Amino acid sequence: MRGTALRFGMGESKKKPTPAPKAENPPTEGPSPLGDMLSHEELESLSALQLVDLITGKLPPRHSSLMDLVYLRDRISAIEEQNDQAREAIEKLDEIVEKLRSPAFRVGTFLMPVENDKAHVCVGGTDYVCRVDPKIPLNSLQMGQRVLCNEAFAVVQGLGFDKNGPIVRIDELLSDGRLRIGQEAGFNSLVLLRSALLIKEKLKPGMEVRLDVNQRVALEVIGMGRRIERSLETVTEIPWSAIGGQAEAVQAIRDTIELPFLHRELFKRFEHTVPKGFLLHGPPGCGKTLLGKATAFNLRQQLKAQTGVDHPEFFLHVKGPEILNMWVGESERQVRDLFIQCRERAKDGALAFLFIDEAESILGTRRAGRYHSILSTLVPMFCTEMDGLEPLQNVVVILASNRADLIDPAILRPGRIDRKIKVNRPDQAGAQAIYEIYLRETLPLAEPRADLARVVTEAHFAHSPSNQFLEIVFRSGKKDFLYRGDLASGAIISAVVERAKSFAIRRSIDTGQETFLTREDLLRALQREYEENDLFPPTDVTEDWLKLTDFDPENVIKLGPVRPLKKDAQGSGVV
Ligand code: ADP
């Protein structure tokens, strides 16, 4: 059988038959060639199997070769099947090779749709307006997500959001929801878009957010960050008249800052050194921050009135101790960053104020101690930054401290912060002035405000036994009392008035009648304020109380409350 099969030519494994012998050269013997039945083209179009079937059909029944042809047919059929499988495998491989040889897709960040068929995409830091594959609905793409772009920069697939990317800290929220970040590790100031994920998020300056790899979109809140808690504060309307009992400090500030700003030419002609800031020192709650903000507000108004140019103020409020809670080198970076921000804003036309509260904590004498190593680099750095500031270039540095004696003298040299301005506790007249400020004419007062203010101030400053607040023992052995009036402050006075208002409101709610703020409300509020006040130390540790007074610690052995401390503090208070 095999020999017979071979006679039919096993080399013919191709689907297409070998061409039939040419018509002009027909075989002279044997059965009629297939060419008699079909044209050359028709023969050419037949498969080997079909040819075998044709030949089989031409043979007479019971022809001796029929079995051979059946065998041949089976073999050809098996070979054709193998060929089909091989072809399919090759086609698949071709497809794979084709895919592998095509160029890589680019990954971009989708920023926003453009018209209804294009997308604004950032790829590798460059912006493109890309066509979008019609199979992808444009509204299925979310701001900040990744997209695949093909060779023609058409968006062909949407991917999820980046899982990695740089982290930055928000400096400012712009009114339309965009975010401003300052100069951060290697970044210039940037304005970022919020991704779809952050649209509804309540963001705050100081928070840390992660960006997409193209650094255009904030994707995720990482946390509050461990960096310095500094806040950009809006300066409300604080005319100098809103500050009571600080006439001297106000005058000193105006002479130090307002005069040089308003009379630049005169100061230049006399080559008078112009300070770049000042130090406010005094007990807490007496208006240092208020004076700082009032300086910003009033300087802006004065400059506007004089030059016609409005320089919006930029008030950066920093608490010294927060700069210290940093890892090595970070405090310096933060301080440098504060100056950079102020200078930048000033360049943009703002009046920049850098207000550093509790300044002694970072600018203290470089004494040995816990923060010795930080202070030993921070103080010189701060001095360098101060020296780098041009006078009158719209950056004012204000330090506030209740321990001015601890501030490193290098900071207080001419050309740096060379004006020390004392902010005292208000005396009786000052306190009355502050009461009058808070007992506004517009409030429902039961008596003329001057009368109310006088009555409550007299009660506040009376040297009566019930007003004895602190007991002091001097090194000489002498004992004395400090009265409530000796520890008065603007903060306490404003709190007394607020509390009195709440009594009047309560009365109105309880009686259902129209009520007015009375002297009794004020006197009761005064009593309660000293009993429950949070502005005083909860302990009776002498050092804590000494900070509130001007006594020389050397001369005092003991200073503490006369009356029991307020309830919740008693346990921990007594040492
Ligand atoms: P400091 O910075 O000295 O600790 P602040 O300026 O923060 O004190 O004062 C706290 C609050 O007390 C102020 O916001 C203000 O309401 C009130 N206050 C303090 N001093 C005065 C003052 N001299 N006149 C009017 N209000 C004052």
Q: In CATH, what number is assigned to the domain containing residue 139?
A: 2.40.50.140
**At which of 59, 84, 101 does a domain end?**
101
Same structural domain, 119 and 177: no
Predicted local confidence at residue 110, as pLDDT: 96
Q: Separation of 502 CA from ligand 1 center, angstroms? A: 20
Is any atom of ligand 1 closer than 6 Å to the C-beta of 399?
A: no
Q: Answer yes or no: is the C-beta of 290 below 6 A from any ligand 1 atom.
A: yes
Residue 524 in any domain: the answer is yes
Q: Burial, 444: exposed, middle or buried (Cβ in 10 Å; 0-12, 13-18, 19+)?
A: exposed
- Which residue range is the domain that position 57 belongs to? 34-101
What's 62's DSSP letter? T
**Is ligand 1 within 6 A of the CB of residue 437?**
yes
- Considering the domain architecture, whether residues 116 and 235 belong to the same structural domain is answered as no
The reply to whether 63 and 197 lie within a common domain is no
- Residues 247 and 374 grouped into a single domain: yes
Instruction: Give a yes or no: residue 91 inside a domain.
Output: yes
Q: Residue 437 CA: which ligand 1 atom is closest?
A: 25
pLDDT on residue 184: 55
Cα 439 to Cα 456, 459, 505: the distances in Å are 11, 16, 15
538 and 418 within one domain? no
State whether 274 and 175 are in the same domain.
Answer: no
Is the CB–ligand 1 distance for residue 548 below 6 Å? no
- Ligand 1 centroid to Cα of residue 569, in Å, is 25
- With b for 16 or more beta-carbon neighbours within 10 A and e for fewer, the 213-252 pattern comes to bbbbbbbbbeeeeebbebebbebeebebebbbbbeebbeb
434 lines ligand 1 (CB under 6 A): yes
The rounded Å distance from CA 185 to ligand 1 centre is: 36
Coil, strand or helix: which one is 109? strand
The verdict on residue 12 lying in a domain is no
Would you state the structure tokens that stand for residue 494, as one six-digit string?
């404003």
Please check whether residues 250 and 371 belong to one and the same domain. yes
pLDDT of residue 92: 95
Q: Which of 233, 240, 290 for a ligand 1 pocket mutation test, highest count of atoms within 8 Å of Cβ?
A: 290
**What is the structure's pLDDT at 6?**
34
pTM for this prediction: 0.62
- pLDDT tens digit at each of 575 positions of the chain: 333 333 333 334 444 444 444 444 444 444 446 777 788 888 888 888 999 998 898 888 889 989 999 999 999 999 999 999 999 999 999 999 988 888 889 999 999 999 989 999 999 989 999 999 999 999 899 999 999 999 899 999 999 998 888 888 887 888 888 998 876 555 677 899 999 889 888 887 778 889 999 999 999 888 664 444 456 667 788 999 999 999 999 999 999 998 998 898 898 899 887 889 999 999 999 999 999 999 999 999 999 998 898 888 889 998 888 877 555 566 777 788 888 888 888 888 889 999 999 999 888 876 545 566 666 778 888 999 999 888 778 899 999 998 888 899 999 888 889 889 999 999 999 999 999 999 999 999 999 999 999 999 999 999 998 888 899 999 999 999 999 999 999 999 999 999 999 999 999 999 999 999 999 999 999 999 888 867 788 888 888 888 888 888 888 999 988 865 444 444 333 32
Residue by residue, DSSP assigns 153-184 as: --EEEE----S---EEEEEEE-TTS-EEE-S-
Q: Same domain, yes or no, for 63 and 113?
A: no
CATH assignment at residue 246: 3.40.50.300
Q: How many folded domains does the chain comprise?
A: 5
CB of 284 closer than 6 A to ligand 1? yes
202 and 238 share a domain?
Answer: no
Could you tell me if 324 and 237 lie in one domain? yes
